[in-house]
Amino acid sequence: MGLTKQYLAYKPVSSFNIIASARANISFVTISNAVGRYVVVAAAEKVLVWDLRVGEKVAEFIRDKQEVTFLRTSPDHKHLAVGYSDGVVELFSVETKQSVCSFASHRSAVSGLNFDLLGLKLVSGGLDNDLVVSDVVAQSGKCRLTGHTAPITQCCFMQRFQDVVVSSSKDTQIKFWNIETQCCFKTIVDHRTEVWGIALMRNDDFLVCATADTQLSVYKITSTMDAILPIVAASEQSEGESTVSPFRCTPAGSIQRAGHGRTINLVTDSNGQVLGCHGTDKKIELFYFCSQEESMNKLTKRMKKLNTSKVSAEEAAIRQLSLTDEIKRLTTIPTPEKVKSFDLLLGSRNELRICCTFLKNLVQLFSLDLNVKKDAEPETLYALQKQGHPSEARTVAFSSDSLAIASGSAESLKLWSRASQTVLRTVETGGYVVSTCFVPGDRHVLVGLKTGQLLVVDVVPGEVIECIEAHEKELWSIVLTPDKHGCVSGGGDTTVKFWSFELIVGSGGQDAAKVLSLLHKNTLKLEETVLSVRISQNGKYIAVALLDTTVKIFFMDSLKFYLSLYGHKLPVVTMDISYDSTLIITGSADRTIKIWGMDFGDCHRSLLAHDNTVTAVQFIPNTHMFFSCAKDGKLKQWDADSFQKIITLPGHLGEAHALAISPNGKYVVSCGSDRTLRLFHRTEEPLVLQDVQEEEREELENATLATGEESTVPGLPGLRLPSKKTIGSEKGAENILECLEVCKQYEEEGGKGPLPPLMFAYSATNTDDFLLTVLSRVRASDLEESLLLLPFNAVCELLERVPKLATERKDHTELICKVVLFLFRVHQKPIVNNQVLLPVIQKIVQTMQTALGELRDMVGTNFHAAQMLQRELEENDGCVLFRDATKQRIQRDRRRKRREASKRKFLQIVK
């Protein structure tokens, strides 16, 4: 067998430039007991934690390559729930930054998340019109609530009424759900337009709804009883009120917003006292919901102004408490840009903190003092904006030492450290950057603008030292000459211009330091718009890509026509010439990359490389391998000699605009419409093409489920599990079937002899341990879907093993119960009709009751023992706390006396 060519693998290093994605929301997070200092935001497929005080990234939460669509922190600030565009909800630990569990809940993107009061349950809403309630402790889905006919916009738990979920949707309806019965018991259909948000205020006293108009609807929620009870007698209900609802929800009025356009977001603080909203304009409106006592005081004052007696005021308080008494408008916060999302935090000293994200990659923190009675001015505390481009980066370039990266966007040029991925310099260009190039020496950067201007930027001070009117239209391409003494630019005005580098005396006179300038030497006039220019390394040829889909090659010295490369169906957007000047590659809007010979202009191979326009191609220095990127977001490596694709790297979530390869060939950087710059580095890990192709095929096969998308059971057409079928559930079912088969064979052989290899791999010594190990290794959120895929004969085998498992392995009683109850619920009819299973069922009932009784006794004993230990610790701590408090008070009194004594020294008596 002949030797196969091996390649070195490129691996992702990091993605940077993005501060906060516009699609997902922002949320405050508490780290090391610091409240109001850290915020968590989405950054494409990552979740970032920013320290606003120092403006640094302190943590990252990473899953697979799916875009983050929603974030929510748990009430105890220990967990972070993250919803993704593929419908998965991942639960992370804030302390360890690792995933705790994963819920495959929805078939499309997650649009809303909320925890209950204790953080034990999680409700998620998706664009698939469903609500899913998940159990955080059991790490599995609890129920799926279906009824909305349009995507969910918001969902939350009620605090006063247990196991009640409220949801709003684009179908104009607000629904109240009971988790236990899994049904909707109340629907509000008052609105004519989409409901974009809901908020429960003041311990569920008010429900505020945001629609497409400029008003916020307010509903008063009053309990029909002190607690949730079953059906109430119809005589006790008001006319038209539902007999199963534990509360009445009546319209109380509306709040007129000052802003224009529809309401986009409704956000409340954790206690439900402050409500914030924003629309399509540049302001955040705040409303304060007064407590019952404050509302009564306001009403009493209002009644006194109307000259009513005290008695009548008290009577009116019961009847005429209006929204003006209960809701107070706070200072409106003006913002520099249109707000995408924000979060509120009300501190102990009545300081309100508002953190906002904007479309222009910006995070800003405002502070508002609620102790100031009138006209409190909002204060901007911190802002994160220098850590990334405000708009999409369109071009990237490496310095000659591979240590710096230059990226250009619609308004600025940024220089990044390749090692730390931090910003070194930001230069305002005053125009849209479409091309960049480092000057030899890496002291200057050439920047081409969409207006046709050519800027010379000095890196050290970060200033534009010269602006040259190079072209009349877009300056699409800048490339250095091989001798490094000049550059060539191509523009939309159908010209290619040749420039030489000159050092001229600065503005300070003869003694001033010399600065770099460009001297125009020659112009090549063409018939079509120039899209790209490249020069061969031997300095003989210059290739120009034109809008008429051809590439024309000229002699560099005389500018005489040499070759014309035609064959693309759409214009060539990008091209590059190999280091030995023998090959030229062209990437076009027709999705193909063509490899040509420079000697005769013959096309060696045409590759259908991408699913959309190819935006950049570049050779790896000193090789015939090259990288390409396109508007399909993918980044691919190719071999121009064998015409094979080497590997596809994890690309951008949207379009990929440009890429650059470092001069040493070790690093690749790309930019895209998801506002990220992605850096890759070459490892020492060898890559074999056959292995890579096999992995890609497996990945493609795994993307499609072998058993279909729907989870169905004969005789149960309305099966609505709180999970969806995934690759993990299919693999779990395969493992269970394989385990049952191995156990059966091993027992038929008498259970003697060497252990089967699979049992040995699981470190199991008998079949019972083997089965329990396999069941416990199936992810909790996938267990039900895996059991659903089992055929009925496998279900019978599994049930026959349960009595022995329940007797001998009481440490797994909870798992065994979960499996048995689900199988009985799903396969009830065939199990009941099977007479052979009757003695098995009787054994299961006896053994499971005994095991559950023992488990309940153990939990009760441990619970009460822990309570006793807690009481003893509190008693001991109480004495210690009392002594500490006494010492602190003595020290405080001493400091106060010292301050008073120092003040007396500077007192002056004026007669």
pLDDT tens digits, one per residue of 11-23: 999 999 999 998 8
Predicted pLDDT of residue 762: 84
Q: Name which residue leads in pLDDT, 880 or 242.
A: 880
Cα(725)–Cα(723) distance, rounded to whole angstroms? 7
Over range 566-586, report the average pLDDT: 94
| Angle at alpha carbon of residue 182, lines to 179 and 187, rounded to 5° | 90
Evaluate whether 617 touches 668 at the Cβ level (below 8 Å).
no
Q: Please tell me whether residue 312 adopts helix, strand or coil conformation.
A: helix
Give me the pLDDT at residue 274, please: 92
CB atoms within 10 A of CB 884: 11
Report the mean per-residue pLDDT for the chain: 87
Residue 292: per-residue pLDDT: 82
Tens of pLDDT, residue by residue over 155-168, are 999 998 889 999 99
- Whether the CA torsion 732, 738, 742, 748 is positive or negative: it is positive
Mean pLDDT value of segment 314-324: 63
Q: HEC profile for 144-182?
A: EEECCCCCEEEEEECCCCCCEEEEEECCCCEEEEECCCC
Architecture of domain 403-506+513-525: 7 Propeller (2.130)
Q: CA-CA distance, 752 to 750, in Å (whole number)?
A: 5
> Is the confidence at residue 235, as pLDDT, over 90?
no
In the sheet that holds 551-555, the strands lie side by side as 530-535, 541-546, 551-555, 561-565
Distance from the first to the final alpha carbon of the chain: 112
Confidence band (pLDDT; 50, 70, 90) for 296?
confident
Q: Residue 898's pLDDT is what? A: 78
- So what's the pLDDT on residue 372? 72
The pLDDT of residue 225 is 62
Q: Provide mean pLDDT across the span 105-126.
A: 93
SS3 141: strand
| Strand-by-strand arrangement of the 592-597 sheet | 572-577, 583-588, 592-597, 603-608
Q: Give the pLDDT band of residue 319 (cuts 50, 70, 90).
A: low
pLDDT of residue 176 exceeding 80 = yes
- pLDDT of 883: 66
Please, are residues 194 and 212 in contact by the beta-carbon 8 Å criterion? yes
CATH superfamily of 526-546+567-696: YVTN repeat-like/Quinoprotein amine dehydrogenase (2.130.10.10)
Helix (H, G, I), strand (E, B) or coil at 7: strand
| pLDDT computed for residue 320 by the predictor | 67
Distance set, CA 681 to CA 187, 405, 674, 692 (Å) = 55, 14, 21, 18
Statement: residue 909 has pLDDT above 50? no
Return the pLDDT at 291: 84
Greatest mean pLDDT among 325-329, 660-664, 843-847 lies in 660-664
- Better-scored residue on pLDDT, 231 or 623: 623
Give the pLDDT band (50/70/90) at residue 234.
very low
The confidence band for 905, taking pLDDT boundaries of 50, 70 and 90, is: very low
Q: Alpha-carbon distance 729 to 26, whole Å?
A: 32
Using one digit for the tens of pLDDT, what is the confidence trace for 375-430?
Answer: 778 889 999 988 899 999 999 999 999 999 999 999 999 999 999 999 999 999 98
Task: Say yes or no to pLDDT of 875 above 90.
Answer: no
Lowest mean pLDDT among 367-381, 460-474, 664-678: 367-381
The answer to whether 81 and 99 have CB atoms below 8 angstroms apart is no
Closest CA to 329 of 254, 274, 407, 381: 274
Determine the pLDDT at residue 184. 92
CA distance 545 to 861: 81
Dihedral sign computed on CA atoms, order 452, 457, 463, 469? negative
Residue 244: the pLDDT is: 72
pTM: 0.85
| H/E element, 805 | helix 792-808
- What pLDDT score was predicted for residue 878? 66
pLDDT in tens, 481-507: 999 899 999 999 999 999 999 988 766
Quick one: tokens of 748? 């038929």
pLDDT, tens digit (0-9, with 9 covering 90-100), for 682-729: 999 888 888 888 888 887 777 777 666 666 665 565 567 888 888 888
The pLDDT of residue 348: 78
pLDDT tops 90 at residue 341:
yes
CB-neighbour burial class of residue 233 (10 A; exposed 0-12, middle 13-18, buried 19+): exposed
For 603, other C-beta atoms within 10 Å of its C-beta total 14
Say what the pLDDT of residue 310 is: 52
